Structure 1
Amino acid sequence: MTSAAPTERVPASPDLIKVWFRFVPREGWLPYDTEGLWATRLSEDTARVENAPFLQDGLAEGEVVRFITDADGLHWSTERVQASGNCTIRVLPVPTGPLGRSPHAVHEHLAPYGVSGEVFSQEFPLIAYTVPADADLKEIKMLLRRGRQDGWWHFEEACVTDAWRDAQPPPHGR
């Protein structure tokens, strides 16, 4: 078993626990089959996810998951019990593009829309962004598509909502 171990935020509260997720690694992608995310314990077996996943698809920050605790004290997610309405979008800067490998440059473009994110590592500047449910989804989608078209970054929609799917930017930008 190989776990993703990006630079992590340090827990700021005793209620924060690490909840682990298992998945099948994607061919040609990072060779991990588990990912641990910080979560606020809500009950004996539920917790609210507190950061965006780099590898686990179908999950966004703010969602409530049920978990079991194994004999080693690790908390393993078993199901999502409440959606947050947030989306997870992953952005990888194109090293030869106008922004280079800079996660900071990517963030400067997305920050005005209220998104927040974390960088996997300096060597692999993948950014996992949380797009809040109340963000301007049309504008964010338009910016992401333009950035991909202009060679700034690649992006993937790791967890999206119906509101995200329904938000259609103008066909030719503004």
Structure 2
Amino acid sequence: MVSSSSESTAMVANGRVKIWYRFVPREGWPQFDQEGVWATPLGGDLAQVDNVPFFVDGAAEGDIVRFTMDAEGVRWVKDRVEWSGRCTILVLPVRGGPKATAKEVHEVFAPLGIGAEAYSAEFPLVALSVPPDADVRATKALLNRGVEAGWWFYQEACVGDAWCTA
């Protein structure tokens, strides 16, 4: 979820809290400079990220982060305490292409055990959450095959050594 500061409220739902990242926008992407994600409080100033970030580099589902709370009660991520081992890959389908919807993109990667979240119907960006035990070579091959076939473009938003060496 992306929002302006005026919409940044300290939200709580089902025991989860909204935490917010500040970041430098990527060139060519929507020019947001903050993103809110759901997280499970772990006590004190720690929380575990519950969904896949769309616009934050170096962040993944399952990460444990430290946050600070401002005067309005908004939780701002200060740093990552522990990486979940998950990779975050952003996939933008080619408009009018054979895999032009977020659902179609997710259906391609689901057999590999990869989760996905869609940004919106108007901007069908898909954030893939690649678990640490996923077949990274097959995932990368599928991503590259999709680029070659004109299905999508992708960016690596959060990857580790296993991804880089595969």
What TM-score, normalized by structure 1, do the two folds share?
Answer: 0.87
Instruction: Indicate whether 1:30 and 2:53 are aligned.
Output: no
Mapped to 2, the partners of 1:3 and 1:25 lie a distance apart of: 13
CA deviations 1:60-103 (Å, max 9, x no partner) are 1011000011110100000100011100001111113222x211
- 2:43 is paired with a residue whose SS is coil
> What code does the residue aligned with 1:111 have?
A
Mapped to 2, the partners of 1:11 and 1:76 lie a distance apart of: 14
> What code does the residue aligned with 2:81 have?
V
CA 126–161 in structure 1, closer or farther in 2 if over 3 Å, else same: same
> What code does the residue aligned with 1:13 have?
N
Within 5 A, what are the aligned runs for 1:38-117?
38-99=38-99, 101-117=100-116
Mapped to 2, the partners of 1:93 and 1:81 lie a distance apart of: 32
Aligned residues: 159
State the Cα distance separating 1:145 from its structure 2 match.
0.4
- 2:123 is paired with a residue whose SS is coil
Aligned to 2:155: 156
State the Cα distance separating 1:11 from its structure 2 match.
7.2
Aligned to 2:7: none
> What code does the residue aligned with 1:61 have?
E
- 2:157 is paired with a residue whose SS is strand
Mapped to 1, the partners of 2:12 and 2:114 lie a distance apart of: 21
- 1:26 is paired with a residue whose SS is coil
- Between the aligned residues of both structures, percent identity stands at 53
Which runs of 4 or more aligned residues in structure 1 lie more than 3 Å from their structure 2 counterparts after TM superposition? none
Q: Which runs of 5+ in 2 are unaligned?
A: 5-10
Within 5 A, what are the aligned runs for 1:111-150?
111-150=110-149
State the Cα distance separating 1:12 from its structure 2 match.
6.1
Conserved? CA contact 2:70–2:76, under 8 Å? yes
State the Cα distance separating 1:26 from its structure 2 match.
2.7
